Amino acid sequence: APIFVAILAGIFLKEKIEKITVFSLAISFVGIVLIASPEKVSPDNQNLLGLLMAILAGICFALWIVFSKKVASDYTAFRLTFYQSLFAGLLLFPSLLILDFNLNLGKIFLILILGGVHVVLAFTLYYNGLKTVKAQHAGVLGYIEPLAAVVYAMLIFGETPTLHTLLG
């Protein structure tokens, strides 16, 4: 996604891609390749499908960042978060009609935390930050996510990272 953000920000936002961005993306890309262990990807397994889905997700995420940057100065961060959540809710609403689920007080509490902290607070902070930085910088900072995933996998799930993952 960060590579796509840098390219799309140049096209749609007229941001000049900075040398430090290109350097950061190159180093980060090598790290991501090491973490993803590309030797496991082949046309006859699910890893290739997963890789293609990841690339598509990266393009969609990049489009979201660029679009968000474009409209961030026109709307409050809270309003953008509201519209995004409303759209997602409307899009996902039909799944409520076909999924079998039950709610209890504990689940409702977790849903409120998810909505309040991981959606409203996180996206409001993100949109506020996006107003002050270039889209390409926001994209590069997106590479913190794979690093965090490795650290959380170690701390929460007790996973031991491979040598490739540590190098990445």
Tens-digit pLDDT profile for residues 80-108: 999 999 999 999 999 988 988 888 999 99
Question: What is the C-alpha R_g of the chain?
Answer: 18
Using a 10 angstrom Cβ sphere, with 0-12 exposed, 13-18 middle and 19 or more buried, the burial of residue 90 is exposed
Tell me what pLDDT residue 42 has.
60
